[in-house]
Amino acid sequence: NSERWPLDGPNPNETNQNFSYLPFGGGPRKCVGDMFASFEAIVAVAMLIRRFNFQMALGAPPVKMTTGATIHTTEGLNMTVTRRIHPPIVPTF
């Protein structure tokens, strides 16, 4: 509904929207599950790094960053991902 939600308003970022576009909000009513979600993301990345090798793709443009509601690359991140033959052994207790 373009009358209720105009598309020509300011671009959302962390300074003009009172935390409304941050993933977990901020201030006194911040999401109580934000730390759990952050730890879950760390474990997911660790599992990917354990099972795959990541390398910048040949001929990939230099990585440029920009900020907004989140920090992200301006032109993507071109990588070559290969499966590890033998994942590192993790001791079990």
Pair 84, 53: CB distance under 8 Å: yes
CA angle 23, 26, 29 (to 5 degrees): 110
The annotation status of 72 as a binding-site residue, yes or no, is no
Calpha distance 44→4 (Å, rounded): 39
End-to-end CA distance of the chain: 56
- Binding-site annotation: residue ranges: 31
Positions at the binding site for heme:
31
